[in-house]
Copies of this chain bind each other. A is one copy, B any other.
Amino acid sequence: MNDTSRTEAFLSIAAVERDTGLAKDTLRVWERRYGFPSPERDANGERLYPQEQVDKLRLIRRLLDHGQRPARIAGASMDELNALVGQLRCDSSSDPAQAERDAALLQYVRLHRSAELSSALRQALLKQGLQRFVIDTVAPLAEAVGEAWMRGEIDVPEEHLFTEQVQNVLRSANGAHAGTGGRPRVLLTTFPEEEHVLGLLMAEAMLVPEGVACLSLGARTPLADIRNAAVGGGFDIVGLSFSMAYPARQAVDGALELRAMLPEEITLWAGGGAVRDKQKRLPGVRVVCGLEDTLLALQEWRAANAVAAD
């Protein structure tokens, strides 16, 4: 995007792991098996990944998350990959008026118009109310930002700026409601490797207006600590958020492990991209498919615990 952004066009394997979410071991074994990626080496024989290969890896990662398999796409060209990505994006259709608004907001993100972005967000919040704001504005925008990021159309600062502004707005709104005594009591957090916090804030924003007593621990809480906090704090529900980038396998394993650690009377919810369609592999866990399903899950809990509540 700018001239200096390509001065250092080589990344170490650790940096690539950070940027793509692919483990070092995975990167090495792909190189061995598929011949891709094929990084340069420095004087000491350590891998140096050119930026273009990292971009390709990001694309591949995205396709993997959508069910493709490595052997098929590891050797594919950039064009073939883009064609596959194009196929994936067709199914996300919505009404055109909304798409136009989203595009305007996305433009604010791109151009560093932080003030405009902020006030546009606050305005939308006032107009739509918290829950619809999250569903109709924040979530689509987050997805648009994620896609633009994957396609390399926006850079780190833009993504950070977006996250910060949304956090400001949502935290203000959530704090304003601040119900103390409601039921159920919900504990929200993510696993240690998951640092994305927007999913938690959106979930909180869905629940707080329903009179739920929500407590978010933020991101990166170790499993044992989640359990201790849930039991010690007398919570009814533990809610986990997984971004699309989170390895599905780890999400499932971790959720099951936590389920086994928690006492039976505490309900476990899991939501976010990584656990979509994973309900059948998660017995005992309520997979929350999208933000609106949060309300359904809440209804279910209240129906099941109606007698015990009073």
Q: Are B2 and A264 closer than 8 Å at their CB atoms?
A: yes
Q: Are A118 and B178 closer than 8 Å at their CB atoms?
A: yes
Q: Are A228 and B2 closer than 8 Å at their CB atoms?
A: yes
Q: Which of A223, A224, A228 has the most CB of B within 10 A?
A: A224
Please classify the interface of chain A as helix (H, G, I), strand (E, B), loop, or mixed, using the class held by over half of its residues.
helix
CB-contacts of A184-203 with B (<8 A): 189, 191-193, 195
Min Cβ gap A221→B in Å is: 6
Q: Which residues of B contact A180 (CB under 8 A)?
A: 115
Task: Check: A157 CB closer than 8 A to any chain B CB.
Answer: yes
Min Cβ gap A153→B in Å is: 14
Task: Check: A86 CB closer than 8 A to any chain B CB.
Answer: no
Q: Are A175 and B178 closer than 8 Å at their CB atoms?
A: no
How many residues of A are counted as interface, with CB atoms below 8 angstroms from the partner's CB atoms?
59
Contacts A18-B222, A169-B175, A172-B172: A228 and B4 contacting too (C-beta < 8 A)?
Answer: yes
Task: Check: A155 CB closer than 8 A to any chain B CB.
Answer: yes
Which of the candidate stretches A133-141, A159-167, A269-277, A285-293 sits at the interface with the other chain?
A159-167
Q: Are A163 and B225 closer than 8 Å at their CB atoms?
A: no
Q: Are A19 and B167 closer than 8 Å at their CB atoms?
A: no
Q: Are B223 and A155 closer than 8 Å at their CB atoms?
A: no
Q: Are B160 and A221 closer than 8 Å at their CB atoms?
A: yes
Q: Are B5 and A228 closer than 8 Å at their CB atoms?
A: yes
Task: Check: A67 CB closer than 8 A to any chain B CB.
Answer: no
Q: Are B5 and A215 closer than 8 Å at their CB atoms?
A: no
Q: Are A223 and B19 closer than 8 Å at their CB atoms?
A: yes
Interchain CB contact (< 8 A) of A19 among B156, B172, B222, B229: B222
Q: Are A224 and B8 closer than 8 Å at their CB atoms?
A: yes
Q: How far is the CA of A296 from the CA of B187 in the complex (A)?
A: 41
